[in-house]
A and B are shown apart, each in its own frame.
Chain A
Amino acid sequence: MNEGIAVLKVRDVLLVTMPADPDDATVSALQSRTLDAMEQHDVKALILDLSKVEILDSYFARTVAETARMVTLMGGETLIAGMRPSVAITATELNVTLGATRTVLTVDRALDLAGNLSRNKSVRKGRPWL
């Protein structure tokens, strides 16, 4: 059967993992679950882990792009991680895009990048260098 979305807070990053083949209800839950968790946890970045995802159709892609735009409005940054080759090929042929969202190869790399983001943000806020 279909498993759900896993939401995990790691330091100041929100890690959201999508299941292999989410139905429409699960895809639409992505938006509300993610935004609620962003508000609750005061995180700086969202990592959307697509490494399990076996199908990204136009509806799923549009929801991902919209969610990323909403996260931007809330002051966060979105990194999409782990898209499989077969999914990337198919999404390109289907002509779906994820907007201006940053993509990274793996969740590991996304976590590294998100760590840098938050350090830079503290610098911009005028905190002392350490």
Chain B
Amino acid sequence: MSETEQGTVPIDVEADIAVARRLVRDIAGEMGFGVTETTRIITAASELGRNVFKYAGKGVMHWRTLQKEDACGVELRFEDHGPGIADLDAAMREGHSTGGGLGMGLPGAKRLMDEMDIRTSVGEGTTVVVRKWRQR
């Protein structure tokens, strides 16, 4: 994989969370991530995909491969047009949940990945981008 590859997966129904997760597993495996790193990536994808489904009802996951001089990486971008996150600081705190979950989705996914960016606007939606790098 020297060229950048990319794609989009819709998250419309609950079963799409697992579909997105399996695609991410194949991508990570193909890029040469080890078993534990791959498990971290697919677990983060599962948490973020579930957030999209749970809070916004539907959205998409865009994925692309990244290339740097000394590393390659995978980027996952979860986009929805749901209610947005009113209090992002609270959402990033452990154990905070407005959706009846355990409130570990965002902080948990952040710990499992190397980088996380969130853009959110109340009434407009949320975009969460995560990246994982593998040294060459």
1/0 per residue B49-82: CB within 8 Å of A? Answer: 0100000000000000000000000000000000
Other-chain residue from B15, B36, B94, B101 in contact with A90 (beta carbon distance below 8 A): B36
How many residues on chain B are close to A (CB under 8 Å)? 26
Contact B46 A57 (CB under 8 A): yes
Asked if A55 is an interface residue, CB under 8 A from chain B, the answer is: yes
Asked if A122 is an interface residue, CB under 8 A from chain B, the answer is: no
Asked if B14 is an interface residue, CB under 8 A from chain A, the answer is: yes
How many residues on chain A are close to B (CB under 8 Å)? 22
Contact B50 A59 (CB under 8 A): yes
A21-B21, A21-B22, A58-B108 known; A89-B39 Cβ under 8 A: yes
1/0 per residue A45-73: CB within 8 Å of B? Answer: 00000000011111100100000000000
Query: Chain B interface (Cβ within 8 Å of chain A)?
Result: 14-15, 17-18, 21-22, 25, 35-36, 38-40, 42-43, 46-47, 50, 94, 101-102, 104-105, 107-108, 111-112
A-B contact pairs, 12 of them (CB 8 A): A2-B18, A21-B21, A23-B15, A55-B39, A58-B105, A59-B101, A93-B108, A94-B47, A94-B108, A94-B112, A95-B108, A96-B104
